[in-house]
């Protein structure tokens, strides 16, 4: 049994939040000479249950292997490093039966062991052990003595070990228990992991030292000056009598070390015995009317507060610094204001995740995330659903991101129970209060979130009251408060922002247009990016940018949570829930990011970058309007170029000179080129692209930032196929010299995650959760029956003397097939074709409700590969006028010219049935031949996996569909 605490079993008691843990404080830098990082290889042994841990596992000497001991890496998750326990994915349901606060019969418990030696210069100092993060709860032993116990997987715990360390080698043991009573408030939509997933170190603090520094760096947008308030707490070691004569010296410096304002030196109060007078060993100082520049995500100017503790003899005995940014956050007049200016929330939700290390992410991982985010025009992050490592906030301060910092509170499985449960009240308060205490000095944090999907009750109001008292400078955010009590006036005690989750476009438009609520609406989650998704993203932003009271939101989510897995045959794949034998599970619902787990952008990332672009261009009767959607800086950091195209061929181009356009300003400019009347049947487009002038921390010079395309003339095609013929790029061959593919009617698509959960059909059938389209398609047999038996289909085939084969189709879709996946044909083409060239929307995959970012042009690229974790429909390009497949060996081209309305097309190496049958990429084999789909109609994507389904205008209605095309073979 675990020594000292074993009989008490604190992990089963929700009221037992900590034992011997030091109070939380701001993250304070220290001289590296006084900090020893303990990351790296530790000895580790896994036990079935905390009661199975023998005392000698934590009190005996450090094992050197054998006897069940392994070497593991810290930071890390043992679930990713050793056999015997695996990652477990659930969304709402708990991984064990419950009810709260019960823990499971099998409760894996890991014992971590290592040694460290003290530096001789540390003698006489206070020694503190820092455990950056442990999932779920942990107990610390040093040299066989119990030191302390802590909860909250996502915030650090610190322990005073001064009295138990010894000279020479020290034996450290950390016992981590996977599940606890506190697991019920860590029920987030993510993998359940286990272990020491953040850094561990020991540091030596002076016997009298700076215990905490609180700063409030305010910006007055009227006076255009900053002001700084600092509150510094001095800690005297327990056996050190507070004495007169200590001073706190503080000053403000710019990035070059130049002093801003005056230096201050104030005495540390020491009369702790004075009743009703003593307020702690706290020094407060203020600097008004500072000539500083404000901080924003667009211009993240930072300054340094340098704090020194001076002893009675005048010697500096301790020092630290804090990076600050001067800014003011307010909610007023239905707007979230930064420095008195409304900002767009171009946001995304982000979890800590790495495909090989799980929840253990490095500084390089964090920076890579942020670089990729900024390259996609993201400027705001919600730390779903827990505080990140403080290093992440340091980076957001430095690089410029707005952050909603979220407390590690989610009781989703019991969300209407625990929020009012008094046994969990201390948990609520500690988790939120410790987050605010640690992170309040970060300028990037613009709001505090009380957690996620935990109902709304007394515990929330208690936490909200504490935060409002401790930090009145920031608004509060909590979604369930407005979900349960209403958007207009509900949940005011807990949230200053109307922050709905997956609302419909109509509902946010109604809120904005009604003018009833006085709070801004910022969606905490929207546009669920599960698989081939993010339909109507541009439709959301059309409403957001045109409706008062709406300011954007945080897309769900940044990255798939796939975990690298090696199968028995050596095959490697990214796995989802259930593929580790984890039961119960929620399958691939964990794969819902705009990026892959390896940080490769999914096709929808381009749509996100487009709706979040900082500058827009639109056609007006007199020319163009250019709008700067940034709030604080101009457009001079970008270069604009334009090009005019006719049927995809660029006919003119040049630089667009508009001068510097100020923040939140729109200017009118003339068209850059005279537009003459285009001939009938020609597509004429004007495209404007904005690229970065210089290399930045997030992209090289020339990075594409924003783009818009305006249609000046459009081909008009009659529905009966009488549009002007396209000119081929070479002579055609006689019909008997080439085998052209035969089209077959095509009505089905491999269901997207939004169409329905093919891996979890019970959710749709029994619970009606997620998209319902797949279930309806299966009822009528679209997934298995011959499509010719489901619709009336007439085909006319013609062959001209040059060997070109023409097809004209008429398809009558009956009422019972309303909202079908597609109407079109499929062709099976020889596999030697490896490249696709087309005139249509591109270059990236696009669908009828996700194509605002796709430009009409001539594109050329290799055949698409599946970009999604679970096989499903992919690769569509909309509104194609023609396409060509190029033979890799001979250069011969198979050309398809569209007669009549443009068609949607996809060119891939899988059939719809193969994609639909495959549960994983390892079930899918690349065909030798090429599958070409031509659709006159294709259902949109929507976000019904978690959110609204496809809008009516993107659905396939019953009725008559008519389309035509010509096939020809062209030699090299």
Peptide bond preceding 732: is omega within 30 degrees of 0, i.e. cis?
no
- Cα–Cα distance, 287 to 264 (Å, whole number): 9
Over the Cα atoms of the chain, what is R_g? 31
> Strand runs (DSSP E) across 87-156, as ranges?
88-90, 109-117, 126-131, 134-135, 137-142, 145-150
Distances (CA, A) of 403 to 395, 400, 528: 11, 10, 20
Is 77 within 8 Å of 194 (Cβ atoms)?
yes
What's the DSSP call for residue 480?
H
Query: Is 9 in a helix, a strand, or coil?
Result: coil
Query: Is 69 in a helix, a strand, or coil?
Result: strand
Peptide bond preceding 75: is omega within 30 degrees of 0, i.e. cis?
yes
Cα 941–chain centre separation: 20
Q: Which residues pair with 231 in a beta bridge?
A: 214, 284
Is there a catalytic annotation at residue 725?
no
Six token digits for residue 815: 């009422």
- The end-to-end CA distance of the chain, in Å, is 78
Six token digits for residue 410: 């989610």
What's the DSSP call for residue 742?
P
Which of 833, 817, 969, 842 minimizes the C-alpha distance to 904?
842
Please state, as a whole number, how many other Cβ atoms lie within 10 Å of the Cβ of residue 673.
14
Is there a catalytic annotation at residue 525?
yes
**CA dihedral in degrees (414, 416, 420, 425; nearest 10)?**
40
Tell me the DSSP string of 655-704: E----PPPTTEEEEE--SSPPPPPPTT--EEEEEEEEESS--SSS-TT-E
Is 487 within 8 Å of 549 (Cβ atoms)?
no
Helix (H) / strand (E) element for 458: namely: helix 458-470
- Cα–Cα distance, 632 to 340 (Å, whole number): 11
550-555 and 345-349 beta bridge pairing: parallel
> Strand runs (DSSP E) across 383-488, as ranges?
402-406, 445-449, 476-477
Cα 711–chain centre separation: 33
Task: List % helix, strand, coil for the chain (3-state, nearest 5).
Answer: 15, 35, 50
- Cα–Cα distance, 528 to 688 (Å, whole number): 29
Choosing from 203, 410, 430, 453, the catalytic residue is 453
**For the chain, what is the largest distance between any 2 Cα atoms, rounded to a whole number of angstroms?**
108
Which of 383, 326, 374 minimizes the C-alpha distance to 346?
374
Choosing from 525, 557, 607, 845, the catalytic residue is 525
Which of 56, 947, 908 minimizes the C-alpha distance to 536?
947
What's the DSSP call for residue 501?
B
Counting runs of H as helices and runs of E as strands, what totals does the chain give?
Answer: 12, 53
- Cα–Cα distance, 219 to 292 (Å, whole number): 9
Give 569's contacts (C-beta < 8 A, 6+ positions apart): none
**Residue with tokens 């009549």, as numbered in its chain:** 900
Backbone angles phi, psi at 199, to 5 degrees: -65, 150
Six token digits for residue 850: 């996700």
The arrangement of strands across the sheet holding 665-669 comes to: 615-620, 623-628, 665-669
Tell me which residues are annotated as active site. 453, 525
């Amino acid at each position: 049994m675990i020594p000292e605490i074993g009989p008490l079993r604190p992990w089963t008691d929700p009221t037992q939040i900590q034992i011997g843990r030091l109070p939380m404080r701001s993250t304070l830098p220290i001289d590296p000479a006084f900090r020893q990082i303990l990351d790296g290889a530790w000895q580790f042994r896994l036990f079935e249950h905390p009661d199975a841990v023998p005392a000698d596992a934590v009190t005996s000497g450090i094992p050197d292997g054998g006897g069940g001991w392994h070497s593991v890496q810290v930071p890390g998750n043992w679930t990713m490093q050793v056999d015997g326990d695996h990652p477990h994915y659930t969304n709402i349901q708990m991984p064990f039966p419950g009810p709260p606060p019960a823990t499971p019969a099998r409760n894996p418990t890991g014992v971590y062991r290592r040694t460290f030696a003290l530096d001789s210069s540390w003698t006489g100092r206070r020694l503190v052990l820092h455990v950056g993060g442990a999932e779920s709860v942990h107990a610390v032993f040093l040299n066989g003595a119990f030191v302390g116990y802590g909860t909250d997987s996502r915030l650090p715990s610190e322990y005073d070990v001064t009295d138990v360390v010894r000279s020479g080698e020290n034996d450290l043991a950390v016992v981590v228990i996977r599940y606890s009573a506190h697991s019920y408030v860590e029920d987030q939509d993510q993998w359940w992991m286990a272990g020491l997933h953040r850094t561990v170190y020991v540091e030596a603090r002076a016997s009298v030292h700076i215990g905490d520094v609180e700063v409030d760096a305010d910006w007055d947008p009227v006076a255009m000056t900053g002001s700084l308030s600092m509150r510094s707490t001095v800690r005297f070691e327990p056996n050190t009598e507070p004495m007169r004569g200590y001073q706190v010296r503080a000053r403000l410096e710019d990035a070059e070390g130049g002093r801003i304002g005056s230096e201050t030196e104030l005495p540390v109060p020491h009369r702790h015995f004075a009743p009703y007078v003593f307020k702690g060993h706290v020094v407060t100082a203020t600097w008004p009317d500072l000539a500083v520049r404000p901080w924003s995500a667009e211009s993240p100017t930072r300054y340094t507060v340098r704090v020194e503790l001076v002893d009675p003899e005048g010697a500096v005995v301790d020092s630290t610094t804090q990076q600050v940014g001067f800014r003011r956050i307010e909610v007023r007049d239905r707007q979230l204001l930064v420095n008195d200016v409304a900002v767009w929330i171009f946001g995304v939700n982000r979890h800590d995740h790495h495909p090989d290390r799980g929840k253990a992410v490095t500084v390089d991982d964090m920076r890579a995330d942020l670089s990729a985010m900024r390259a996609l025009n993201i400027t705001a992050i919600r730390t779903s659903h827990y505080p990140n490592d403080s290093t992440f906030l340091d980076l957001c301060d430095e690089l410029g991101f707005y952050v909603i910092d979220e407390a590690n509170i989610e009781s989703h499985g019991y969300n209407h129970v625990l929020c009012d449960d008094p046994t969990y009240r201390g948990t609520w308060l500690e988790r939120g209060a410790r987050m605010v205490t640690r992170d309040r000095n970060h300028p990037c944090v613009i709001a505090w979130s009380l957690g996620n999907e935990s109902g709304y009750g007394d515990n929330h109001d208690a936490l909200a009251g504490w935060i409002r008292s401790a930090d009145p400078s920031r608004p509060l955010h909590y979604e369930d408060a407005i979900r349960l009590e209403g958007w207009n006036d509900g949940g005011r005690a807990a949230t200053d922002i109307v922050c709905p989750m997956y609302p419909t476009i109509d509902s946010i438009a109604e809120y904005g247009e009604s003018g009833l609520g006085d709070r801004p609406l910022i969606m905490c989650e929207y546009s669920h990016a599960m698989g081939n998704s993010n339909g109507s993203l541009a439709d959301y932003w059309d409403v957001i940018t045109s409706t008062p009271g709406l300011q954007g939101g945080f897309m769900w989510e940044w990255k798939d949570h796939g975990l690298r897995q090696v199968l028995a045959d050596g095959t490697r794949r990214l796995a989802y829930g259930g593929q580790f034998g984890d039961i119960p599970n929620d399958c691939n619902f964990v794969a819902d990011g705009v990026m892959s787990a390896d940080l490769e952008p999914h096709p929808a990332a381009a749509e996100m970058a487009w709706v979040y672009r900082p500058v827009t261009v639109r056609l007006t009767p007199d020319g163009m309007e250019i709008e700067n959607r940034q709030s604080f800086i101009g457009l001079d950091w970008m270069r604009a170029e334009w090009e005019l195209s006719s049927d995809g061929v660029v006919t003119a181009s040049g630089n667009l000179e508009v001068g510097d356009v100020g923040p939140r300003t729109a200017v009118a400019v003339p068209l850059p080129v005279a537009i003459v009347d285009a001939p009938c049947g020609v597509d004429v487009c004007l495209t404007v692209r904005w690229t970065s002038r210089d290399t930045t921390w997030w992209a090289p010079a020339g990075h594409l930032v924003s783009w818009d395309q305006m249609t000046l003339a459009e081909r008009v095609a009659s529905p009966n196929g009488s549009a002007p013929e396209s000119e081929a790029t070479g002579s055609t061959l006689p019909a008997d010299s080439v085998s052209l593919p035969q089209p077959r009617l095509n009505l089905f698509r491999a269901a997207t995650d939004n169409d329905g959960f093919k891996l979890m059909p019970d959710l749709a059938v029994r619970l009606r959760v997620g998209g319902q389209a797949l279930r309806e398609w299966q009822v009528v047999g679209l997934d298995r029956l011959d499509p010719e038996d489901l619709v009336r289909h007439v085909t006319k085939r013609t062959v001209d003397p040059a060997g070109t084969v023409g097809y004209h189709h008429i398809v009558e879709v009956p009422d019972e097939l309303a909202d079908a996946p597609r109407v079109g044909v499929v062709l099976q083409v020889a596999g030697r074709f490896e490249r696709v060239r087309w005139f249509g929307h591109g270059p990236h995959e696009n669908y009828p409700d996700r194509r605002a970012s796709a430009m009409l042009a001539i594109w050329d690229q290799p055949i698409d590969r599946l970009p999604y974790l679970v096989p499903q429909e992919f690769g569509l390009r909309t509104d194609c006028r023609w396409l060509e497949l190029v033979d890799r060996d001979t250069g011969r081209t198979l050309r398809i010219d569209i007669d009549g309305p443009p068609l949607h097309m996809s060119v891939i190496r899988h059939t719809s049935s193969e994609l639909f049958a495959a549960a994983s990429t390892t079930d899918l084999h690349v065909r030798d031949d090429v599958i070409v789909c031509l659709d006159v109609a294709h259902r949109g994507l929507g976000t019904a996996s978690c959110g609204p389904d496809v809008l009516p205008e993107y659905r396939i209605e019953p009725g008559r569909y008519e389309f035509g095309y010509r096939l020809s073979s062209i030699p090299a």
